């Protein structure tokens, strides 16, 4: 224990005892195979200076605005149920305290909210780049799974100030008569109950995951010809915009399925073979994906090779609904003879996206329902389950994408790249019920999007805004209609980070520990994401680029029509321009709040781009992507009466710029390389400039003069 002085000098110093865990090993950089300790931090204060240290790293350095012996310090460490909550509090009976300083984190740290506010609205927050939101009260470091947060009612402002890729720094200012700082190590692992969450051993999949899946288009009636036709159409209509994967689903394998040859050779509907199909998809510039399941239905083989399977009380291979005969993941022979050859074969063919199905049934009807078998052989049930799925991962490699399907699979954290968080069919529920998991634990998969007139725009919008897996599943003919625009404007999917470490709707994730007791996978479980439309939620995506930052707000018909800037994390004393992306209309310029107006029946949703108003011409949006320039803009600046930028574009497709022109400025000219100007018109204060590029990148400039 260490005696330390705080906010005072000499004999009048306020003293406190700081917990000190002086393990010299913590001074070294955390290695990928070294778990951070589940222990409190050290806090050291001398005069006005404060530091918080953990695992050999200094996480926070701060300075108080004044010293006063009347300031009271207290701390409390709660270590119940295997998790650590450490709280530090300073109370001033006189003038308010101010604590300013720096929080240091790894290259995977980011600002956020750690806990829901008392009057939390129905809003789901994500950000591209490091968030500057006024809602942020915490910094979370994914690499070491710790969070430092500032508790209510302390005022707090957190601003990202440095990022070199390996480390990040955040400037903070905390004010109030009460300043309380909380430290929670192993946040997702211990506090959120994800015992297999060890982010120092793996990274989340960062590239866009956008593709086409055959399931709802054809169900199990797929044929070689249908898949080739789909590849032709998707390659032409969607690949230039960001679709990368084409995944075939159920219907290609031989039945009953089980042994490697039932998967790798395919059935009579695929006469040229699966390797031919894989190569055909690649020839169209797409990455081939394939569906498999973990079921085994070949009875005679199972009974001849009982030792490879989980066995019932009679010693026969146990049988479960949907899963068939249950492969024993604790037996290396079962993995070597069945699992590994299947996935090695597919990888050798060149498949790059693996949808692994029936994982819920393997766990519930398979392992949970036969727990006595594992107990009798002294094998860890969950460990055996992980071993089977890990064998798949080992064969397909870390460079290929793996989707675990379906339902929440906390025991597979660190193995699968993505998890189908709900049942069959696109579901909005999981986007608010597991929003904190997305791109921290894994990539959320809300299931396939169908471009129906009612669903196309809103399903595409929220999937892209949340940084989730984006998979279309229509018959290819749909992509020759105008509905394809919903998908084109929403892809590729940008990598996002959640703005909340809590789930906007915690009703499902709060029961995630129940996976260990479920015996039936026939239908959603209480912890699986629901399929409700959740139209009353707002979806907020903050875009932060080196040249600017802005907010995107997605809304459906059930959400409030009056939106306050304060609830969006914006300064409500500033004025913001609000532009609606789908209809390409400027709603207006507002302080404090704005009214959304009615939703167009064509789109069934609204997407607002909200930018702080400038006193000179400024870009409102582009038409390329729903991020209003977040994806396509590579540079943007206002200098010497010229607004200029550089954009990634789709060659041959019209690219549009929407520019707000305030009073006092006269448009002079527009210039662009690699493109032909097709129009330049003004409606109100908004100028729309259209160009047709003949390259994948264009530089452009708009020159103005002062009105005389």
pLDDT in tens, 480-519: 999 999 999 999 999 999 999 999 999 999 999 999 999 9
Residue with tokens 């089980």, as numbered in its chain = 258
Please give the sequence-ordered ranges of beta strands (E in DSSP) within 223-303, or none if there are none: 245-248, 287-293
Residue with tokens 């452009």, as numbered in its chain = 700
| Calpha distance 207→213 (Å, rounded) | 18
Q: Which of 501, 526, 559 marks a domain boundary?
A: 501
| Calpha distance 478→212 (Å, rounded) | 12
Q: Does residue 2 surpass a pLDDT of 80? A: no
Q: Pick from 540, 549, 539: which is nearest to 629 by CA? A: 549
Q: How many CB atoms lie within 10 A of CB 583?
A: 14
Instruction: Look over the chain and give the mean of its residue pLDDT values, rounded to a whole number.
Output: 94
State the sign of the Cα–Cα–Cα–Cα dihedral 249, 250, 251, 253: positive
Q: What is the 3-state secondary structure (H, E, C) of 532-578?
A: CCCCCCEEEEEEEECCEEEEEEEECCCCCCEEEHHHHCCCCCCEEEE
Q: Supply φ then ψ for residue 693, to 5 degrees.
A: -80, 150
- Percent of the chain at pLDDT above 70? 95
Residue 701 CA, chain-centre distance (Å), reads 34
Q: How many CB atoms lie within 10 A of CB 553?
A: 23
Write down the pLDDT at residue 67.
84
Q: Is there a domain that residue 508 lies in?
A: no
Is residue 668 within 8 A of residue 631, CB to CB? The reply is: no
Q: Does residue 3 surpass a pLDDT of 50? A: no
List of residues 6+ apart from 222 with CB closer than 8 A: 214, 248, 249, 250, 251, 252, 269
β-strand pairing of 72-78 with 14-18: unpaired
Give the mean model confidence (pLDDT) for residues 616-630.
98
Give the mean model confidence (pLDDT) for residues 420-442.
95
| Calpha distance 372→446 (Å, rounded) | 34
Q: 392: buried, middle or exposed (CB in 10 Å: 19+, 13-18, 0-12)?
A: buried
Q: 10: buried, middle or exposed (CB in 10 Å: 19+, 13-18, 0-12)?
A: exposed
Q: Is there a domain that residue 554 lies in?
A: yes
Q: Tokens in use for 508?
A: 């499902």
| Calpha distance 404→3 (Å, rounded) | 51
Q: Tokens in use for 66?
A: 């004044």
Give the mean model confidence (pLDDT) for residues 459-488.
98
Q: Is there a domain that residue 33 lies in?
A: yes
Q: Pick from 559, 557, 552: which is nearest to 538 by CA? A: 559
Residues 400 and 255 in one domain: yes
Residues 259 and 337 in one domain: yes
Which tens digits make up the pLDDT trace of 189-211? 999 999 999 999 999 999 999 99
| Calpha distance 205→331 (Å, rounded) | 30
Residues 277 and 388 in one domain: yes
pLDDT band for 540, please (50, 70, 90 cuts): very high
Q: Is there a domain that residue 198 lies in?
A: no
Is residue 248 within 8 A of residue 220, CB to CB? The reply is: no
Give the mean model confidence (pLDDT) for residues 364-381.
98
State the sign of the Cα–Cα–Cα–Cα dihedral 232, 238, 244, 247: negative
| Calpha distance 602→456 (Å, rounded) | 10
SS3 63: strand
Is residue 689 within 8 A of residue 677, CB to CB? The reply is: yes
Q: Is there a domain that residue 510 lies in?
A: no
Q: Tokens in use for 17?
A: 């005892």
Write down the pLDDT at residue 32.
61
Residues 442 and 560 in one domain: no
Residues 164 and 15 in one domain: yes
Give the mean model confidence (pLDDT) for residues 73-99.
95
Q: 690: buried, middle or exposed (CB in 10 Å: 19+, 13-18, 0-12)?
A: middle
Q: Supply φ then ψ for residue 411, to 5 degrees.
A: -75, -5
Q: Tokens in use for 451?
A: 């471009």
Q: Pick from 178, 111, 190: which is nearest to 151 by CA? A: 178
Q: Does residue 307 surpass a pLDDT of 90? A: yes
Distances (CA, A) of 486 to 145, 241, 460, 570: 36, 11, 6, 28
- Kindly report whether the peptide bond that precedes residue 153 is cis, defined as omega within 30 degrees of 0: yes
Please give the sequence-ordered ranges of beta strands (E in DSSP) within 109-230, or none if there are none: 109-112, 123-128, 138-141, 146-150, 155-163, 167-176, 178-184, 210-213
Residues 497 and 589 in one domain: no
Q: Does residue 708 surpass a pLDDT of 80? A: no
Q: Which of 579, 612, 645 marks a domain boundary?
A: 612
Q: Pick from 578, 533, 572: which is nearest to 552 by CA? A: 578
Q: Does residue 8 surpass a pLDDT of 80? A: no
Write down the pLDDT at residue 505.
95
Q: Tokens in use for 629?
A: 């320039």
Write down the pLDDT at residue 33.
75
| Calpha distance 689→513 (Å, rounded) | 54
Q: Does residue 31 surpass a pLDDT of 50? A: no
Residues 327 and 378 in one domain: yes
Q: How many CB atoms lie within 10 A of CB 678?
A: 12
SS3 385: helix
Q: Pick from 446, 487, 465: which is nearest to 543 by CA? A: 465
Give the mean model confidence (pLDDT) for residues 175-182.
97
Give the mean model confidence (pLDDT) for residues 33-37.
91
- In which domain, by residue range, is 594 found? 535-612
| Calpha distance 622→702 (Å, rounded) | 14
- For residue 326, what is the domain's CATH number? 3.20.20.70
Q: Is there a domain that residue 506 lies in?
A: no
Q: Tokens in use for 572?
A: 């409500």
Write down the pLDDT at residue 69.
87
Q: Pick from 125, 165, 400: which is nearest to 287 by CA? A: 400
Which tens digits make up the pLDDT trace of 199-245? 999 999 999 999 999 999 999 999 999 999 999 999 999 999 999 99
Which residues on adjacent β-strands are paired with residue 98? 175
Residues 564 and 635 in one domain: no
Residue 432 CA, chain-centre distance (Å), reads 12
| Total residues found in the chain within this entry | 708
Please give the sequence-ordered ranges of beta strands (E in DSSP) within 280-352, or none if there are none: 287-293, 319-320, 324-325
Distance separating the N- and C-terminal Cα atoms of the chain = 73
Residues 70 and 38 in one domain: yes
Please give the sequence-ordered ranges of beta strands (E in DSSP) within 165-244, or none if there are none: 167-176, 178-184, 210-213
Q: Is there a domain that residue 122 lies in?
A: no
Which helix (H) or strand (E) segment holds residue 449: the answer is none
Residue 192 CA, chain-centre distance (Å), reads 17
Residues 470 and 600 in one domain: no
Domains identified in the chain, total number: 4
- For residue 595, what is the domain's CATH number? 2.60.40
Q: Pick from 565, 572, 547, 556: which is nearest to 643 by CA? A: 547
Q: Is there a domain that residue 195 lies in?
A: no
- Percent of the chain at pLDDT above 90? 92
Residues 23 and 163 in one domain: yes
pTM over 0.85: yes
Minimum mean pLDDT range among 107-111, 115-119, 344-348, 530-534: 530-534
β-strand pairing of 210-213 with 470-472: parallel
Q: Which of 568, 595, 612 marks a domain boundary?
A: 612
Give the dihedral of Cα atoms 127, 131, 136, 140; nearest 10 deg.
Answer: 80
Is residue 423 within 8 A of residue 524, CB to CB? The reply is: yes
List of residues 6+ apart from 546 with CB closer than 8 A: none
Residues 151 and 234 in one domain: no
3-state percent breakdown (helix, strand, coil) of the chain, nearest 5:
20, 35, 45
Give the mean model confidence (pLDDT) for residues 690-707.
97
């Amino acid at each position: 224990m260490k005696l330390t002085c705080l906010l005072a000098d000499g004999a009048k110093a306020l003293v406190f005892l700081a917990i000190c865990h002086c393990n010299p090993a913590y001074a070294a950089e955390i290695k990928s195979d070294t778990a951070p300790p589940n222990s409190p931090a050290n806090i050291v204060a001398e005069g006005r200076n404060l530091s918080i240290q953990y695992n050999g790293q200094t996480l926070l350095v701060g300075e108080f605005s004044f010293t006063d012996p009347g300031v009271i310090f207290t701390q409390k460490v709660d270590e119940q149920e295997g998790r650590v909550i450490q709280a530090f509090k300073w109370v001033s009976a006189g003038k308010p305290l101010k604590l300013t300083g720096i929080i240091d984190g790894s290259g995977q740290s980011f600002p956020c909210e750690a806990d829901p506010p008392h009057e939390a609205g129905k809003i789901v927050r994500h950000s591209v780049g490091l968030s500057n939101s006024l809602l942020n009260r915490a910094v979370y470091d994914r690499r070491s799974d710790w969070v430092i947060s500032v508790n209510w009612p302390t005022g707090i402002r957190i601003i990202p100030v440095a990022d070199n890729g390996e480390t990040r720094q955040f400037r903070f200012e905390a004010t109030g008569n009460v300043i309380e700082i909380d430290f929670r190590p192993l946040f997702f692992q211990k506090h959120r109950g994800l015992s297999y969450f060890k982010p120092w051993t793996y990274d989340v999949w960062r590239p866009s995951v956008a593709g086409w899946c055959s399931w709802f288009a054809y169900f199990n009636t797929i044929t070689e010809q249908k898949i080739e036709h789909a590849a032709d159409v998707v390659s032409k209509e969607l690949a230039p915009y960001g679709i990368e994967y084409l995944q075939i689903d159920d219907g290609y394998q031989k039945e009953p399925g089980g042994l490697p040859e039932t998967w790798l050779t395919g059935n009579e509907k695929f006469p040229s073979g699966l390797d031919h199909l894989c190569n055909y998809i690649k020839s169209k510039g797409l990455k081939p994906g394939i569906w498999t399941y973990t079921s085994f239905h070949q009875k005679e083989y199972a009974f001849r090779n009982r030792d490879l399977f989980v066995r019932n009380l009679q010693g026969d291979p146990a049988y479960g609904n949907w899963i068939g005969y249950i492969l024993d993941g604790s037996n290396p022979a079962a993995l070597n003879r069945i699992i590994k050859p299947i996935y090695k074969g597919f990888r050798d063919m060149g498949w790059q996206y693996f949808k692994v199905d029936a994982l819920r049934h393997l766990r519930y009807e398979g392992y949970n329902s036969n727990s006595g078998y594992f107990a009798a052989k002294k094998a860890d049930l969950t460990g055996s389950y992980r071993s089977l799925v890990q064998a798949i991962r080992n064969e397909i490699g870390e460079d290929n994408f793996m989707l675990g399907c379906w339902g929440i699979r906390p025991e597979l954290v660190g193995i699968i790249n993505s998890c189908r968080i709900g049942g069959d069919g696109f579901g909005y529920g999981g986007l608010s019920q597991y929003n904190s998991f997305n791109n921290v634990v894994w990539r959320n998969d809300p299931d396939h999007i169908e471009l129906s007139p009612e669903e196309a725009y809103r399903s595409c919008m929220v999937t892209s805004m949340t940084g989730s897996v984006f998979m279309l599943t229509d018959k290819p003919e749909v992509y020759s209609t105008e509905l394809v625009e919903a998908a084109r404007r929403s892809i590729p999917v940008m990598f996002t980070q959640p703005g909340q470490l809590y789930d906007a709707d915690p009703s499902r994730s709060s029961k995630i520990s129940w996976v260990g007791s479920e015996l039936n996978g026939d239908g959603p479980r209480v912890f699986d994401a629901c399929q409700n439309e959740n139209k009353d939620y707002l979806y907020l995506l903050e875009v932060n680029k080196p040249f600017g930052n802005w907010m995107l707000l997605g809304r459906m018909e059930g959400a409030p029509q009056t939106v306050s800037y304060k609830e969006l994390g914006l300064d409500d004393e500033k004025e913001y321009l609000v532009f609606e992306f789908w209809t390409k209309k400027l709603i207006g310029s507002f302080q404090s709040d704005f009214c959304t107006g009615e939703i167009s029946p064509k789109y069934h949703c609204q997407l607002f781009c909200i930018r702080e108003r400038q006193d000179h011409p400024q870009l409102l949006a582009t038409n390329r992507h729903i991020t209003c320039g977040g994806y396509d803009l590579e540079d943007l600046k206002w200098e010497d009466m010229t607004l200029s930028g550089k954009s990634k574009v789709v060659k041959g497709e019209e690219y549009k710029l929407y520019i707000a022109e305030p009073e006092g400025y006269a448009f002079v000219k527009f210039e662009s390389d690699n493109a032909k100007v097709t129009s330049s018109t003004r409606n109100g204060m908004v100028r729309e400039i259209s160009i047709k590029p003949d390259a994948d990148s264009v530089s452009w400039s708009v020159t103005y003069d002062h009105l005389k």
